[in-house]
Chains A and B, each alone.
Chain A
């Protein structure tokens, strides 16, 4: 499958006279194949928005290569801009114009037929409120307008930075269906979001970024499989057999955590080996359930951002690839 979006070694350094430099992007790679819904995940301040802004020519990178739809950007942006619809971090609109005016001015600037305005208004559910000034809109309504503006071009590639921000549950579900429909019609969607349940449901593949570098990527199930720790829960017919089973399993090199009525095993490659091992000792398994890991726990593990009781994790305290595992406050921070 051809790549619709490709990034290699992207670097962006913010310089501040007082606070030194900050590497917002530090050799970041990303690849999105055509027709996919791609999730772009990362903790706060990890560089997602910076990546998307750079890609869209709003900020200039300090190094690296980027292509959109097979064209080198930013040089070829004028050619590809018409095929890339984007919203970058809850875009603002001129507050005194109505939604319809806002969209029709964008359509005019981009040479999109005016009829498309009504189509997208309908699509995002703003049809009946499109004559009202944007100033009077709620957060979710503004967000819907933003999505409408990105869809206006009928793009080949749709880039959405936190589109679900402020949407109601119905809106989120609608957005999910919309993404799927768009992807089925051949559109490629790049979606950055913190709602990982959502991402897991709609995305084909993901890229996870931490402190400006990629920590994981690939199809969602592969990422999950690679990082599922092989956790299995077992119950035995007789609760009294649990200690014996614990001993047998530990001897076989499996990490076991005891619970009153079941055992949690970690590091199990094949659940069948557990059954066999216990059967040999005449212990019969009444339940054996591989624990499905979800994207959220994989994300927390990969980025090392799981909350620790009694500690307040600061932004920028997350995994640094190719650096120290758990960076101190200075890692990647100001003054680096």
Chain B
């Protein structure tokens, strides 16, 4: 217990921890403020005007398609070559249905809590996961590279206990930042919706779904923190973890992405890690393959799809954590410290 408290104290004393946390929170605040200023509340007058504008556009479309159809028929009867400008059957030229033209198009953006709050949890989790990763990596990486770990092991020779206690302290610290930040995030966007949008139609089911997304976001933050910690401990250096991730992301993922798309592999995104992080947050990600055709009854061509679910992501995340942390612990047990 004393070791745990000491490690918490060490974590909070680190200037890097403080600055990174501050930076992360500032970015989050900036997002909230930005959304606040780019959204507006819509009153009845604005709504009516938007309807009128939509109507207007519909009329234009109707007029235009009639003109075109007339021109098409004229060309046909005259027998002039049209270079494929018009279809063979002039009757297919028709205006879009009225309901396809939406009034929202003519409205300034507004923040509908029920519709959009979900999506804001993705940048929230992403930013804090990044902060957690870097802090986790630096927390143990700097200990290794400055010899602090060796000093500590002279006091506490049980290596696994030391490493796991450090991890526990780190996760506690990250959680202590993430949870209040999440509460503030909810409150902040509730306020944004209140003043710059609407908070209507919030049922307890919606609340529950938001809560669950929030919990998944926090879990993602903790997972990435753990991975950063484990990688830096494996490499005994902060830079190892950061470099490793840059290498994986840039060479592994970016390069892999290019390679897969060149090779024409179906659902190339299914091989990329960010897809799974996204699926974890949004529950499902639907990948589409436009090179395949699933014909519908209406003769339309639908792309082949593949769904990646949060369950699949959870398997990937757990396996990742177990493998990387397991390796870090195994190496910690065995290696010579000098």
Contact = CB atoms under 8 A, between A and B. Distances in A.
User: Is chain A's interface secondary structure helix, strand, loop, or mixed overall?
Assistant: loop
B151 interface: yes
A142 B39 CA distance: 57
B337 A58 contact: yes
Contact of B336 (A59, A74, A101, A106): A59
B3 interface: yes
Interface stretch (B116-124, B153-161, B175-183, B188-196): B153-161
A292 interface: no
B139 to A, nearest CB: 11
B338 interface: yes
Contact of A94 (B9, B142, B156, B158): B142
A108 B146 contact: no
A221 interface: no
B7 to A, nearest CB: 8
Nearest to B336: A59
Interface string B4-44: 01110110011100000000000000000000000000000
B153 A95 contact: no
A149 interface: yes
Interface residues of A, number: 30
A109 interface: yes
A34 interface: no
User: Is chain B's interface secondary structure helix, strand, loop, or mixed overall?
Assistant: helix
B152 A106 contact: yes
B153 A57 contact: yes
Given A78-B157, A81-B156, A110-B155, A58 B2 contact: no
B147 interface: yes
Interface in B129-156: 142-143, 146-148, 150-156
Nearest to A12: B336
A154 to B, nearest CB: 13
Given A74-B157, A77-B157, A93 B337 contact: no
24 contacts: A57-B153, A58-B150, A58-B153, A58-B338, A60-B334, A78-B156, A78-B157, A81-B154, A81-B157, A88-B154, A91-B147, A91-B151, A92-B146, A94-B142, A94-B148, A96-B14, A97-B13, A105-B13, A106-B152, A108-B6, A109-B7, A109-B152, A109-B156, A149-B151
Which 8 interchain pairs have the tightest Cβ spacing?
Answer: A92-B147, A108-B6, A59-B336, A77-B157, A110-B155, A58-B337, A109-B6, A94-B148
